[in-house]
């Protein structure tokens, strides 16, 4: 991503994240006292970013982050816009891109808080494979992990 484009998209993503309430932030894996989304160090691992707008308002994003041959994804929908299909649409864009570029990566993971039923539904809808051996628990809660891998397609 060109530097100026990256700075603008980072501003937009941070704007969306800033609208999230405590429960929505928890669903993203944030601890209660965490404020930001990605540090400047982490931002350099964003290899592809999709931003979905309603009219001119950014309502959802889907980030694909990778370091070498493996990666992870993160997405969020602006507070007040849940349940309207925006998460599904932006996840479809990101998942399709991953499917088209999977040969370049060993695997891409999608960790979902086990209580986040909409994200679990999205993972299944877009053919992410459940990988129980990669599930984990941290101070936020238990996360179940879905994976797209060139070895499973």
pTM over 0.85: yes
CA 145, CA 137: separation in Å to the nearest integer? Answer: 11
CA 122, CA 119: separation in Å to the nearest integer? Answer: 5
**For the segment 57-76, what is each residue's pLDDT rounded down to a tens digit?**
999 999 999 998 999 999 99
CA 98, CA 113: separation in Å to the nearest integer? Answer: 21
Is the pLDDT at 4 greater than 50, yes or no?
Answer: no
**For the segment 22-52, what is each residue's pLDDT rounded down to a tens digit?**
999 898 888 777 777 888 888 889 999 999 9
Confidence of residue 3 (pLDDT cuts 50, 70, 90): very low
Superfamily per CATH, domain 3-149: Gcn5-related N-acetyltransferase (GNAT) (3.40.630.30)
CA 50, CA 29: separation in Å to the nearest integer? Answer: 20
pLDDT on residue 74: 95
CA 149, CA 109: separation in Å to the nearest integer? Answer: 9
For residues 122 and 83, is the Cβ–Cβ distance under 8 A? no
Give the start-to-end residue ranges of the domains of the chain: 3-149
Mean pLDDT for the stretch of residues 133-141? 94
């Amino acid at each position: 991503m060109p530097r100026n484009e990256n700075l603008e998209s980072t501003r937009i993503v941070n704007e969306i994240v800033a609208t999230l309430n405590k429960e929505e932030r928890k669903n993203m894996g944030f601890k209660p006292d965490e404020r930001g989304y990605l540090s400047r160090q982490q931002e350099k691992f964003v290899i592809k970013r999709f931003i979905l707008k309603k009219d001119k308002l950014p309502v959802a994003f889907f980030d694909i982050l990778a370091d070498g041959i493996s990666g992870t994804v993160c997405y969020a929908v602006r507070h007040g816009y849940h349940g309207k299909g925006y998460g599904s649409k932006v996840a479809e864009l990101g998942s399709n891109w991953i499917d088209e570029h999977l040969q370049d990566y060993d695997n891409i993971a999608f960790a979902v808080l086990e209580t986040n039923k909409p994200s679990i539904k999205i993972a299944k809808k877009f053919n992410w494979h459940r990988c129980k051996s990669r599930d984990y628990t941290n101070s936020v809660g238990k996360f179940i992990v879905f994976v797209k891998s060139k070895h499973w397609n």
